[in-house]
Structure 1
């Protein structure tokens, strides 16, 4: 079995039935009063994996991270790390370290002293501390900033200091709570690749909590999509995007068209769906469906083509250009159908001038292939 889509490295221990998970959440529930922040959750994470917990605010992802760190205790279930049940082990004795969104740097200390602080608390010898600090400074490329204070650094540099301090103790697992949330968009994009490359170099297990889909898709080997204290899907970024296992995941991750409908005919894997949007879809279904069954048809905007003139073939939808947004690499069109339904189309701007000249209220024709979307049975 091979993972869907491109991957950063040849690393997929979850596909090996004989592989032993490094971290296991076994039937874990965390209850605050009458509210279940985490609800009977089980999850396996492998050594050396960059794993992302992705979900909206309040879905339980940070609570899960805090239980692994030891800041919260499970109400039910257990957490096992490298074969050891973590129940009753205080945070400072767990082989994990946590990097917070705020970075929590000491403002009166230099960069090197911030990094050395935790090592001094552990009673490490002065020479060993100096050597370890020097190693992590080189790792995050901040050697020339060792004597500066945090207020003399940029946001990206402070983020690297916090990362260096977290790595200095050489934890078995590094926990990242919204690690790039304080950075501006361009710096965040650059840092995503740097952090991903650093994790690959260190082979340390990273577990990241984020609500940013792009962040999770860029950095993680696998993503767990969470909702209301439960895990909805665990898969590689490409699988979560291209093969969501539910309407919720399809709608939560990325931009998407979702058309509700009823199957009218089935010929092998080829199905015809009458949608509530007012048009029929001829599609290839990866799941068995039957005539008369209610289904959802999931179609990513970049899988569609748009034209100013009628085009032949099945799966052609006509409408009016209702909205246009230019993003540089792509132009997003919202096409309004006669019944008011909206179809979203993303067109790559492959040339500087762009061959397609469409403006508001023009008639437009949208077409897509039979295997462009995904049929989800309900």
Structure 2
């Protein structure tokens, strides 16, 4: 199998048939009246894994997290954590802790007292509490902020206090519900790497809920893409992006061009697709398909090449520059084909001055390699 990109670390117990999952959801369903939030879902997560539940609002990801935390009970099915069935175990007795998007810090308490609050509730000794607070403050690099109140901290610092408080009880699993959603874009990007490094250092199992695709791709060892209470695909980030198993996953994770059509010919390792747009695509035959079969061909914008002059060869499309967006490292082109279809092309700005002189309404030619995209049957 071709490499699908680098991985964040050398950690992949899910490919080891002898590895035992640390957490299992077994046929879990959750209904709220007539609404089925989670539908007969089964999932395995491994110890020390950073796992992301990714999906749009209402897909069931937060409900799954709340059932693990014990705030909601499954309508049917079981949740097994470290060999123990969580059925009937109240939230305060589960070896998990949840960090909420709002952080929920006590405004009248210092940073140190916020972190110590849960430890006091467990009636831990004063000396042990002080040691534990000192340890987690050092871990999140806030040793000099112990006496400050939350309103004296930046958003990123409050986020780290909430994280320290969640980690102070040393849970077996840390649950993160949109953990970076309250931060601005630049700070969120910086904090993502800090959070990934911290999880790697602690070897604690992290399970994160997010609708932010970039956040999931940056942080997680594996991602579960969810829709309507079901898991559509579970895989490492590179596989989710480069080898989605369905049109929905391809369209949900990142930008993508989708060309619907019918297989005209399928011979050897090549397939020819007659698209509804009136042009043919010649592609690698990644999945079993037959002539006459309806398929979709998905193609990421960065896999295409664009030129101002005619191009020879297969997989060439011609059209008019409809829109241009400059993002700094990348320029995005929307090319309106003569058939009316819009094709998205992303060009990396590798030099300060672009050698490609294209502007609105210019004629443009777009091409791609036979192995650039993916043929999907669902």
* TM-score (norm: length of structure 1): 0.99
Q: After the TM superposition, which residues 146-165 of structure 1 pair with which residues of structure 2 at under 5 Å, given as runs?
A: 146-165=146-165
Deviation track 1:142-164 (CA, whole Å, cap 9, x = no partner) reads 00111000000000000000000
Task: Answer whether contact 1:261 1:294 (CA < 8 A) is retained.
Answer: yes
Matching residue of 1:303 = 303
Query: Quick one: distance in 2 between partners of 1:70 and 1:6?
Result: 36
Matching residue of 1:34 = 34
Query: Quick one: distance in 2 between partners of 1:202 and 1:277?
Result: 52
Deviation track 1:51-91 (CA, whole Å, cap 9, x = no partner) reads 00000000000000000000000000000000000000000
1:285 aligns with 2:254: no
CA RMSD of aligned residues (A): 0.9
Query: Quick one: distance in 1 between partners of 2:131 and 2:143?
Result: 12
CA drift of 1:313 comes to 1.2
Query: Quick one: distance in 2 between partners of 1:2 and 1:201?
Result: 30
1:10 aligns with 2:10: yes
Deviation track 1:214-259 (CA, whole Å, cap 9, x = no partner) reads 0000000000000000000000000000000001000110000000
Task: Answer whether contact 2:266 2:285 (CA < 8 A) is retained.
Answer: no
Matching residue of 2:345 = 345
1:220 aligns with 2:220: yes
Deviation track 1:242-277 (CA, whole Å, cap 9, x = no partner) reads 000001000110000000000111121101101112
1:43 aligns with 2:23: no
The 3-state SS of whatever aligns with 2:331 is strand
The 3-state SS of whatever aligns with 1:369 is coil
Aligned CA distance change for structure 1 residues 246 and 360 (closer, same or farther; 3 Å): same
Query: Quick one: distance in 1 between partners of 2:91 and 2:240?
Result: 32
CA drift of 1:279 comes to 1.2
CA drift of 1:312 comes to 1.6
The 3-state SS of whatever aligns with 1:66 is helix
Matching residue of 2:194 = 194
Task: Answer whether contact 1:63 1:72 (CA < 8 A) is retained.
Answer: yes
1:114 aligns with 2:114: yes
1:88 aligns with 2:88: yes
Q: After the TM superposition, which residues 101-180 of structure 1 pair with which residues of structure 2 at under 5 Å, given as runs?
A: 101-180=101-180
Task: Answer whether contact 2:335 2:344 (CA < 8 A) is retained.
Answer: yes
CA drift of 1:375 comes to 0.3
CA drift of 1:377 comes to 1.6
Matching residue of 2:67 = 67
Task: Answer whether contact 2:96 2:171 (CA < 8 A) is retained.
Answer: yes
Query: Quick one: distance in 2 between partners of 1:296 and 1:88?
Result: 46
Deviation track 1:28-55 (CA, whole Å, cap 9, x = no partner) reads 0000001100000000000000000000
Matching residue of 2:22 = 22
Aligned CA distance change for structure 1 residues 96 and 3 (closer, same or farther; 3 Å): farther
Query: Quick one: distance in 1 between partners of 2:30 and 2:50?
Result: 24
More moved, 238-247 vs 273-282 = 273-282
Query: Quick one: distance in 1 between partners of 2:91 and 2:277?
Result: 53
Deviation track 1:176-213 (CA, whole Å, cap 9, x = no partner) reads 00000000000000000000000000000000000000
The 3-state SS of whatever aligns with 1:114 is helix
CA drift of 1:2 comes to 8.9
Query: Quick one: distance in 2 between partners of 1:44 and 1:160?
Result: 28
Stretches of structure 1 that go unaligned for 5 or more consecutive residues are none
The 3-state SS of whatever aligns with 1:21 is coil
CA drift of 1:4 comes to 3.0
The 3-state SS of whatever aligns with 2:68 is helix
Q: Which runs of 4+ in 1 moved over 4 A?
A: none
The 3-state SS of whatever aligns with 1:186 is helix
Matching residue of 1:251 = 251
Stretches of structure 2 that go unaligned for 5 or more consecutive residues are none
Task: Answer whether contact 2:107 2:151 (CA < 8 A) is retained.
Answer: yes
The 3-state SS of whatever aligns with 1:36 is strand
